[in-house]
A and B are shown apart, each in its own frame.
Chain A
Amino acid sequence: MSSVVYAQCGDEAEALERRFLELLPVIQGIVSFLARRYYLHGCDLEDFSSDVFVKLIEDDYAVLRKFRRSSSVKTYLTVTIARLLIDRTNREWGRWRPSAEARRNGRVAVLLEKLVVRDSYTFEEACETLMTNHHVSLSRVELERLFGRLPARSRRRFESLDTLTDLPASTGQPDSAIVCRDGRTAAARLISLLSEAMRSLPAQERLILKMRFEDGLTIAAIAAALRLDSRKLYSRIERLHARLRTALMSRGIGVDDVDLFLAHGEAD
């Protein structure tokens, strides 16, 4: 490598380091915003901040070097840092996902559900953890009310063979297995028809339905993320709902089943 190239490399490295230092307050702002959003405190927050700095500095500031300036640098850094945090959360929380109702009720509800459903804490223990470790300022009564709104979910866990042998059948009456199997077949058919109906929709409409019915996001939140007018979005979702309803009914699904299924999708 010639001395000119060395000099250029040195210049680039210096320029990137200068840029990193300029962006440091922005990076710190993003880290603390995301930490609040995902309830990171103490050691977890320190670990996450270190991960962020390592990621941004490693490979001679590769993250900054790859930036083509086609978006705002703040948005680019927020995407990069949010991805780090979400990967970390997924690693720690596993494949468990909060219910739509918990997401609708905000991050305290998600955290409460995580503690009770995923980590098998009692409600009392969960309240204590929320107040002590996560600095949640809601009163016990408010937390109780919040907990009451969450759907009843059970957690999968390993049990010994002896426990399983003595466990009563969860299916109840002997013929309930057949009823249940019929119900599952009907639900599977409904889901397959719904997927087929959704495939015919444009990408943005499928995304809107996913955000509304699967992620349980509010119309205002979807409108902000997709840069749409929230009033128009409301009627657009109504139209999409009606369209799916018609598509399912035209394939022989009864009106009650369709309404029950779509209403369930909206609730959770």
Chain B
Amino acid sequence: MRPIDWIVLIATLVSIVLYGMWKGRGTRSVQGYHLADRQMKWYVIAFSIMATQASAITFTSTPGLAYVDGMRFVQFYFGLPLAMVILCITAVPIFHRLGVYTAYEFLEQRFDLKTRTLTSFIFLLQRGLAVGITIYAPSIVLSVMLGWDMRITSTVIGGGIIAYTVSGGVKSVSWTHLQQMTIILSGMVLALIIIIFSLPDDVSFVDALYVAGGLGHLNAVDFSFDLNDRYNFWSGLIGGMFVALAYFGTDQSQVQRYLTGQSVAQSRMGLLFNGIAKVPMQFLILFIGAMVFVFFQFEQPPILFNPVVMKQLRQGPYAEELARLERDYAEALGRRKEQIAGFLSARASGNAELVEGAKESMRESHQRAEEIRSSAQAVVRSAGYDPNDTNYIFLSFVMKYLPAGVVGLIFACIFAASMSSTSGELSALATCSVIDIYKRHLRPKADEKHTMIISRLSMVLWGIYAIAFAQYATELGALVEAVNILGSLFYGTLLGIFLLAFYFKRVGGTATFIAAFVGEAIVFGCFLFTEISWLWYNVVGCAAVVVTALLVNPFVKPTEGKPLTH
């Protein structure tokens, strides 16, 4: 990074922290701290929802995913607009009418205290495990790319967030989300424009699209049905809808965003804007990856993109094997480049038969290059390192080929994305801890001043915990991955509980409570003993909870919900 990049990066990070502190100034009430006084307009809610979901990994790994596997990941988001409409009709008016601070508060009114506490606990466990990883995952990537100690990156991200969330609460979080998303989207659009203009002079944008498409990288829709395939139209539409319903309807880190709305209409508009903008945004990010892929058809990419792993391999016993593979790879890339030139000439000639033949040759040469890359990944695995370099592809390109200033902006985008998702999670964890646990179970009569002190303290403690987790995660090794998977196994159950609450008026709290445990056991069973893609766990878990509750309900004593008091 050059001096101008450092200036852009530091100025952006400082501006985020200062803007957050400024927007949150004067926050003194509990409602102000946890719900921004319910004064947010739809556009702040919309960007806040998008910023909470978009983590740094979204912007580092998604273009890398398109480079490796094409654009089919976009299908994962096809169910999201459907979920937004369903939530606008069901959850938003109910949450607003009851004036809840957390989604789980509603469950006490509908079912009973034990169901509320169980769901709060599931959320705290799930999100508490995830929040450390939200800082840890980008910290590793940024440390590798910038050559920093990982403790510095995680402290910069976590420390910045604590500074503005503790002072201004959710108001700071929401307004900085708007600022962060503006920075991120500007950076991404700029990156795409520069990539397109960086292609060789004799390769037009349309040529680039034909090369990407010919090599199978514009595969944005696949209508084939396969339960074990994560990304096709059906898993995206059905599985993706259940994931989105669970995430946006039952996860406090998202529910809190639209609880801040000035009215039902403002909250709904925020969710619907997310439903409209999310798919095109993901398409844009994946398209950046597809264009980076085309760029590297004319420039030689490294055989693997993780610079630290490559350095380690070159110094170890695998150095000779790696050097041989790199020579083969360079040769294969040379041949692929020739075949691509042949394909583009055939296209210019307009002869369809010639084009098909040239396309086939281009695909074969690409296949050969990919086989050599896979061999290099096998060497990395044998040496005991992680062969997945998806996270490093886009940033490697950025550091080597983008102009001064833009590099700093893209890294600022990655830091901003990490701060945006982490701040959303921290504020939700703090609210849930204070409202659902502390104020409900430990000190129900706590006054406003006392609750505010506990709220700020809770935000600090969750922030410190997230930083500490990120700093020690390296030592946890494979456990981090296990923690990450574990966190994704609870959504189906949560969604089932909320579906029962909304649509099955005769089902009581005890039946729901029992069904939650049965549903969770079935999801764990699917995870341990089947090959079903995780996208379907939410469907399975949700269905299991609903069916079990309906079966159990006639045999248990019904419990009465009770009106909420604050």
Binding between chains A and B:
no
Chain A positions near chain B (C-beta within 8 angstroms): none
Chain B positions near chain A (C-beta within 8 angstroms): none
